[in-house]
Amino acid sequence: MTSNMQNGFGTSPMGMGLGMNLTSDAHLMEDVSKAIILEVHAYNFYQRLIQLTTNEQFRQIILRIQHDEMRHYHWFTMILSMMGGQQPQIPPGELPRDFKEGVQKAIQNELEASSFYQDISSRATTHHVQMHFMHASHDEQRHAAWLQNILMMDNMNMNHSSSREVPKGLKIAENPAFQVGSKAIILADHKPNMKGAEATIVGAYDTTVYMVDYISTAGEKVKNHKWLVESELSPE
């Protein structure tokens, strides 16, 4: 197989006995082969997405998704082998050129994969095939939710707009990790001399994101800076 995805692999999937016979589900071999191709394409798609953003939080989310796709690949290749099938040739897959458009496409791909895997699970006769494809389906649904959150944060700026208006429909967070009025150290570097500054939380919203006032490490006063997430703040 000619794929970037192979480079990090070498372990067997958990819960799959190497001597297990899954030939009773051999009627699913074509679909399992397609699932393997989808996982390779997804892994490589996310690798390119990581290269298209400098946002470390987004990168960490995508890396977690990649890890799941790697696990699915292991499951599906082992299942296909136990059915008596041959590993498919992997054709070139589509790669994103723009981060936001790529995330939107990835959400669509994840939801389609979730539906496809659920269908395979429903047609399987062995518990192991049913279980692994249903688990993968649930993973893909979770990935879509994570990616939706990335889009929301990106649209809010996290564009770090100079506008002081709170986006329409954004609700106040009920139990934020940083309460309004509390102090925190900024870990982000959206602006010069921002990282390391002491901030006062002046708004917390239900994504959860924070709006802060702070004095930069160079002494500049900044009011109502938007937006920071929890990973970009540290308790004093």
Per-domain residue ranges of the chain? 4-155, 183-235
183-235: what CATH class? mainly beta
Q: What share of the chain is helix, strand, coil (3-state, %, to 5)?
A: 50, 15, 35
**Domains 4-155 and 183-235 are alike in CATH topology:** no
19: confidence class by pLDDT, cuts 50, 70, 90: low
From residue 206, alpha-carbon distances to 155, 170, 235 in Å are 15, 7, 19
- At 64-73, the pLDDT tens digits run 999 999 999 9
The residue-averaged pLDDT of 210-224 equals 83
pLDDT at 9: 38
The one-character DSSP state at 198 is: E
Helix (H) or strand (E) holding 225: strand 221-229
Residue 213's beta-bridge partner residues?
Answer: 200
pLDDT of residue 226: 64
How many other CB atoms are found less than 10 A from the CB of residue 168?
5
When pLDDT is averaged across residues 4-27 and rounded to a whole number, the result is 55
Q: Which of 6-20, 23-37, 106-120, 190-204 has the lowest mean pLDDT?
A: 6-20
User: 141-159: per-residue pLDDT in tens?
Assistant: 999 999 998 888 877 655 5
Which of 51-60, 127-136, 162-171 shows the lowest per-residue confidence on average (mean pLDDT)? 162-171
Q: What secondary structure does DSSP assign to 50-79, as a single string?
A: HHT---HHHHHHHHHHHHHHHHHHHHHHHH
Return the pLDDT at 14: 46
Token representation of residue 36: 């393997």
| Interatomic CA distance for residues 75 and 100, integer angstroms | 30
Q: Which CATH superfamily is domain 4-155 in?
A: Ferritin, core subunit, four-helix bundle (1.20.1260.10)
pLDDT at 191: 66
Give the residue, 36 or 221, on which the prediction is more confident.
36
Other Cβ atoms closer than 10 A to 228: 26
What pLDDT, in 10s, does the model give residues 179-196?
A: 888 889 888 766 667 788
pLDDT given at position 7: 41
CB 168 within 8 A of CB 156: no
pLDDT (tens digit, 9 = 90+) per residue, 94-149? Answer: 999 999 999 999 999 999 999 999 999 999 998 889 999 999 999 999 999 999 98
Which of the four pLDDT bands, split at 50, 70 and 90, describes residue 234?
confident
Closest CA to 210 of 223, 201, 218: 201
* Per-residue pLDDT at 23 exceeds 80: no
